[in-house]
Amino acid sequence: MVERHVYVKFKSDYANPASREEAAVRSRALSEIPGVTSVRVGIPADESSLAAWDMCIALTFDSLDAVEPYRVHPDHQAFLDDFLNPRAEVKKAWNFEV
């Protein structure tokens, strides 16, 4: 099994609780994309975490081979292009075998 962890720092206009909650709701919808077995969204629990990131998205896949089709899937691309990228100042993503 593979977990993909995505950390997002929002632009200042979007670094607020309402924007984080909207992003969390929209991110959970990524679970509908083929190959994704689960999605968890985290909002920083303390001030030092909040200073670094606004949210974390953890997606689970059966294998690393399922990640690339997810990355290029039209629904994922639309999420990035129409929603997340315009709001994000920084994004980092890593894959881990678990």
**Can you give the pLDDT at residue 31?**
97
Residue by residue, pLDDT tens for the chain (98 residues) are 999 999 999 999 999 999 999 999 999 999 999 999 999 999 999 999 999 999 999 999 999 999 999 999 999 999 999 999 999 999 999 999 99
What is the token pair recorded at 96? 């881990």
Q: Kindly provide the b/e burial profile for residues 28-45, where b requires at least 16 CB atoms within 10 angstroms of the residue's own CB.
A: eebeebebbeebebeeee
Domain assignments of the chain as residue spans, ordered by start: 2-97
Neighbours of 84 (CB within 10 A): 20
Those residues whose C-beta lies under 8 Å from the C-beta of residue 52, and which sit 6 or more positions away, are 7, 9, 44
Select from 3.30.1300.30, 3.40.50.300, 3.30.70.100, 3.30.565.10 the CATH code of 2-97. Answer: 3.30.70.100
